[in-house]
Amino acid sequence: MGGGARADRQNPARHPSARPPRPSILSIYQLKPRFQALLRPLVRRLATAGVTANQVTVAACAISVALGLWLFFAEPSPDAFALVPLWMFLRMAFNAVDGMLAREHGQQSRLGAFLNELTDVLSDAALYLPFATYFAALSPHGGFWVGAVIVLAGLSEFAGALGPSVGASRRYDGPMGKSDRAFVFGALGLYIALGGPLPGWTAALMPLVAALVGWTTVRRVRAALAEAVPR
């Protein structure tokens, strides 16, 4: 899971007023503040009921892993892939909720900071995995490129998370951050669920996504280093 609020709110060492600079390239992540505003009444009720940020984080990861492994190993009908875009949207809500619970209701913790980063990478890997079968059918190396996206996605998130270690903020630079990847795979899941076979040209999609994720990693490292210099 992800989001600037989640990373900053679960790191008690960060000053509460510190905000990461906005990425210079447009990313779906930049729409998150409006989404959080819609969820704020629900978050208040959850906090009153005793729900914790870490519980939400772990629950979202467990659902992501269960869904991804079921789609991969059980090989259900294509209709089941409609669950991918549905869960991608709900997972975004989980992400916002756990961040707001911690930041706005005094639930910041060091354990939360670890859970925030590690569960994101694990969840992404599980949700992308089922697509390897479909892309392997398109080209001899299709499965490999899905695996490459999984590995590079993990590297991009760690590159962003290492920002504070050099005196910078947690970086969320695009163009292919977690929210953007969720859009891509959610759209693919919906297309598969609607019964349309993946066109031949989509064989080039995973190499393109991998390249964009690699560029995202480079931009996050460069931005963190540039941000840390003045400090």
Please name which of 8, 14, 120, 15 lies closest in space to residue 57, comparing C-alpha atoms.
120
- What's the rounded Cα separation, in Å, for the pair 23 and 21? 6
pLDDT given at position 198 = 87
User: In the chain, what is the greatest distance between 2 CA atoms, to the nearest angstrom?
Assistant: 54
Q: Record the pTM.
A: 0.84
Q: Are 43 and 97 in contact (CB under 8 A)?
A: yes
Higher per-residue pLDDT: 9 or 80: 80
Query: What is the full DSSP assignment across 138-149?
Result: HSTTHHHHHHHH
Higher per-residue pLDDT: 17 or 73: 73
Domains delineated in the chain: 29-228 (1.20.120.1760)
pLDDT given at position 34 = 76
Half-sphere exposure of 19 (CA within 13 A, CB side): 5
Higher per-residue pLDDT: 214 or 30: 214
pLDDT given at position 16 = 38
Q: Are 199 and 167 in contact (CB under 8 A)?
A: no
- What's the rounded Cα separation, in Å, for the pair 171 and 110? 18
Tell me the mean pLDDT in the region 177-200: 92
141-152 pLDDT tens trace: 999 999 999 999
Please name which of 136, 124, 126, 125 lies closest in space to residue 198, comparing C-alpha atoms.
136
97-112 pLDDT tens trace: 999 999 889 889 999 9
